[in-house]
Structure 1
């Protein structure tokens, strides 16, 4: 696998569990619905002007919507920034609907609220927009060298995150029967590589548990260190 388009390929759809999250509502996705929703999210962003190299800003939470938005944006070659500053000038901005008013959003930025239907018609509703989208892979081609994530210190490409995911799969000994528990807000490059993309590469399931401290591990099993220096450890192992 070289890009997230490979990880989210059509032939990987199945009835196996992909993601579970507790919250205002319980979210359960099998691989068929999860992959299809990632494509549909990419198509929603594409219609809002997101293309290769565009910035997508996401306010994270331990819910499916930020994860699926990141994956959909990555299929377009867009660069995601999690937990953006209060002044947002990205091409698209995605946040819990109740928090949209906390940000100073630049003119021309497409705004999308998730979790509740925004009262302000200037904002799109994530759930409604994604539901109505075409369930096909977005039209923008993905390249391993495309940067898709920016943490403020550096940009990470498809290749970087796939390498981190594959390393985590080996470190955790992941199989399709495993559940990977992800704690924290699911926005750091290490957590996304090890806790989201890693399980998807292995065909395992993801459980979002929230909390204040980032951690990734197999339920009742091994854990992987997602602290600072994660990608240096990945590079040293190669």
Structure 2
């Protein structure tokens, strides 16, 4: 595994649970991979590619994770919860907040959740649903920047962080990693998103406690209350 797009490679499709949000529907690995490919195809149409940025405004829902994976397939750089004025090709945000952001000329706005009333704003669910459910092989150099913000983090660094956490917890299919940390922190992405996907485990976005930095793991082989805090994760 050399780049983050490998997390949703074709051979990783299965019926094992991959992503869930309490009080909402979930994704198995088959659906997660397919939807990530469709997201990548949609973002490509909007001009996303290597060397450009995608801003993702987070909420406890699947769309920010799918947007991240789609952007990684294309080799672009993601900034979670960007400032209101941000130099990006695409901004993905909840419909009720997308108007709070300003992109440079040519920037594309994508809303998720309710259908936007502004014709200049794309609707994530509608446009991704209609995309091709395949994705061409697109090699991405491991040193490519994946996340930006207070610091830049490469594909290689995120995969390394994810592997360390997966090994520390002996993660495997059937385990669930519960994310209670803001995705704007690269440690939350490495420990809470990349680690479970590397291991074939499940990501659970904790909608009730988001904002605290904690990544907890549930599973038969994991001691009760196993929690990583900010000091336990390095990227």
Q: TM-score, normalised by structure 1?
A: 0.91
User: What root-mean-square deviation, in Å, do the aligned CA atoms of Structure 1 and Structure 2 show?
Assistant: 1.6
Partner of 2:187: 190
Structure 1 runs of 4+ with >6 Å offset: none
Q: Partners in 1 of 2:100 and 2:149 — Cα distance? A: 21
CA shift for structure 1 position 93:
0.5
Distance verdict in 2 for CA 1:22–1:50, change over 3 Å = same
Deviates more, 1:78-87 or 1:219-228: 219-228
Q: Partners in 1 of 2:59 and 2:136 — Cα distance? A: 24
Q: 1:157 aligns with which of 154, 158, 168?
A: 154
Unaligned 5+ residue runs, structure 1? 232-238
- SS, match of residue 185 in structure 1: coil
Q: Partners in 2 of 1:103 and 1:5 — Cα distance? A: 28
Deviates more, 1:178-187 or 1:46-55: 178-187
Q: Does 1:177 align with 2:180?
A: no
Q: Partners in 2 of 1:41 and 1:104 — Cα distance? A: 22
Distance verdict in 2 for CA 1:229–1:193, change over 3 Å = closer
Partner of 2:229: 225
Partner of 1:7: 7
Q: Partners in 2 of 1:56 and 1:140 — Cα distance? A: 18
Q: Is the 8 A contact 1:27 1:64 kept in 2?
A: no
Q: Is the 8 A contact 1:174 1:202 kept in 2?
A: yes
Summarize deviations over 1:22-78 as a string: whole Å, max 9, x none. Answer: 35xx12100000011111111111010011011001111121100110111011110
CA shift for structure 1 position 187:
2.9
Partner of 2:18: 18
Partner of 1:63: 61
Q: Partners in 2 of 1:40 and 1:138 — Cα distance? A: 11
CA shift for structure 1 position 213:
0.9
Q: Partners in 2 of 1:229 and 1:6 — Cα distance? A: 22
Q: Does 1:93 align with 2:88?
A: no
Q: How many residues align?
A: 228
Q: TM-score, normalised by structure 2?
A: 0.92
